[in-house]
Structure 1
């Protein structure tokens, strides 16, 4: 009888354990499938009319598909943006809004800034800057649409992206979010300082940074500062802005990439792939700019010297060969 009781207890424990594992598995599946519909983030400072206009602008991309809405206020800005040095308060206004739509694995991060009543009201942050920041923060495989009913820098929309992930049980690492905010500030500052210079574009800078991230991921999270410096020099050259970017700005980029390394972003298995897709996306969207980099008049000095030396030695070889063929 006593042995039978022990068997019953043992069987019961096994059944309860199995039930517990089953519930855990169910909860895990649920957490992974919470992105069953897009999330629309609305700035709390919008008037009723602006809210309707913002919703119409953003959801036009959904072709009637359902979505859920969350509100972004000053507290959201404080939570996600202030750790990186921003000075928002709980009473700060938020107008820029976003729609985040998760896409198939491996599709990459795509960002589009949508005009509101015919005007692009995102005054500071570019689509390429949003892409790079989203990558650093840990966003993967998503379509992100941004708009604002009034001219504004666009920080509220990015905070909305972070909040949307948390809403869906995929809270992003705060160190990466802070690195992303530093990236946004650094790249927008460099682009603003160089916006009127010949041979410079925001696309070239962001393509250089995206490719630098990809190379860093290939080297691993233990890559040295010297290794990062070499990558930055090569990427600035590859993108034709090595003679436009100042030494101080180059150092800012190096410091930024060190911060990204230290944030743990490189530890993600998908970071390299996502960075590569962003770089390709930037190049495709600004094909005219990158085509010019390959023309003779825009090739860098070292390439031209290399070509000249190659032609010289070829000519010398041909001359010497002709002596023996007479």
Structure 2
């Protein structure tokens, strides 16, 4: 009996301490006011309506304002100017609330006059990109007066952090943009596929980031591959994500590791919060995945511990 306890107790204590550390973390760097980042191509009427739309969604009446231009897109998203240049139109806009508690990252895409005009980037893709870029504890509202992919809003988020003295690491921002493109392409390729949702993909990638951070910041490609395989299985995507797409995800995670994102003490905590957020917002999807074969590692661990003590003392 005691030999068994010798092996199981360290696991129990590690899990408990990890959960405790996770729960007490807090960030006290809230901004004085939220920041509204408004696309430079908006007409005066569109600008006014966009600001009202964002402030109403956030239930506030006052915010700082920041104009996002083509040059902002180039600076944060496309320094090689393969897609954007200084004259690029910018319509998508955002309002960023930096919180002073351990809330994680949340993104809400807000309809503009009854229409969702963000045509390409999903809320979960915004969240994952923000995590990789180094954003912490922020609620972000996104909208556009015209149908557009939504890149301007993302550039605005990064600009808002810089404006508040929290300039993000450019290597991480670049990796985040690669991530946005990769996950968007995979979701578009699997659109309409039975058993696939964007939430599952983004939860798998977020889970992979968290698993990587748990193991350190110098993982081999083989280690990252094993993590990806595990996350695809947990999110019921093994038979949906093809080998080429899996390779893209692995290469993306290598870039994220190389960017230095995993070195941040906040990263693992924020990744955990983001997984909770994604699963909560797609509860109908993840409830179906909560089967014996797909339950997460921690649940399986505590099940095995419970069974161990039941057999030991029963």
Using the size of structure 1 for normalisation, the TM-score is 0.79
Shift in Å, 1:55: 0.6
Q: Give the alignment of 1:153-302 within 5 angstroms.
A: 153-294=149-290
In structure 2, the partner of 1:149 is 145
Q: Distance in 1 between matches of 2:95 and 2:130?
A: 13
In structure 2, the partner of 1:92 is 88
**3-state SS in 2 of match to 1:69:** strand
1:82 is aligned, of 78, 81, 102, to: 78
Normalized per residue, the structure richer in helix is 1
1:47 is aligned, of 40, 43, 48, to: 43
Q: Give the alignment of 1:7-156 within 5 angstroms.
A: 35-83=31-79, 86-156=82-152
Shift in Å, 1:270: 0.8
Q: What are the Cα deviations for residues 80-129 of structure 1, in whole angstroms up to 9, with x where unaligned?
A: 11137742110000000000001123210000000000111000000000
Q: Distance in 1 between matches of 2:72 and 2:131?
A: 20
Q: In the alignment, is the contact (CA less than 8 A) between 1:99 and 1:146 conserved in 2?
A: yes
Q: 1:178 to 1:119 in 2, by over 3 A?
A: same
Q: Distance in 2 between matches of 1:272 and 1:34?
A: 20
Q: Distance in 1 between matches of 2:125 and 2:151?
A: 11
Task: Report the number of matched residues.
Answer: 267
Q: Which runs of 4+ in 1 moved over 4 A?
A: none
Q: In the alignment, is the contact (CA less than 8 A) between 2:229 and 2:238 conserved in 1?
A: yes
**3-state SS in 1 of match to 2:79:** helix
Q: In the alignment, is the contact (CA less than 8 A) between 2:92 and 2:142 conserved in 1?
A: yes
Q: Distance in 2 between matches of 1:124 and 1:90?
A: 22
Q: Distance in 1 between matches of 2:143 and 2:72?
A: 18
Alignment RMSD, CA only?
A: 1.6
Radius of gyration: which is bigger?
Answer: 1
Q: In the alignment, is the contact (CA less than 8 A) between 2:54 and 2:142 conserved in 1?
A: yes
Task: Give unmatched runs, 5+ long, in structure 2.
Answer: 1-27, 295-314
Q: Distance in 2 between matches of 1:69 and 1:86?
A: 28
**3-state SS in 2 of match to 1:146:** strand
Q: In the alignment, is the contact (CA less than 8 A) between 1:34 and 1:168 conserved in 2?
A: no
Task: Give unmatched runs, 5+ long, in structure 1.
Answer: 1-31, 301-326
Q: Distance in 2 between matches of 1:155 and 1:86?
A: 14
Q: In the alignment, is the contact (CA less than 8 A) between 1:34 and 1:169 conserved in 2?
A: no
Using the size of structure 2 for normalisation, the TM-score is 0.82
Q: Distance in 2 between matches of 1:66 and 1:264?
A: 35
Q: What are the Cα deviations for residues 139-177 of structure 1, in whole angstroms up to 9, with x where unaligned?
A: 000000000000000000000001001111111000000
Which stretch shifts more, 283-292 or 77-86? 77-86
